[in-house]
Structure 1
Amino acid sequence: MKATIWHNPSCGTSRKTLAILQETPGVDVTVIEYLKQPYERAKLIQIIRDSGLSVQDAIRTRGTDAEEKGLPGMDDAAILDAMVANPAYVTRPFVETDKGVRYCRPQDLVREIL
Structure 2
Amino acid sequence: MAGIFGSATSAAATSATATQGSIANDVQLNQGPEDGIQDLAFSPVSGHLSVASWDNKVYIYEVQSNGTNEGKASFDLKAPALSTCWSKGTLHLISMLCARKQ
Q: TM-score, normalised by structure 1?
A: 0.25
| TM score, norm. by length of structure 2 | 0.27
**Bigger helix share:** 1
- Higher share in strand: 2
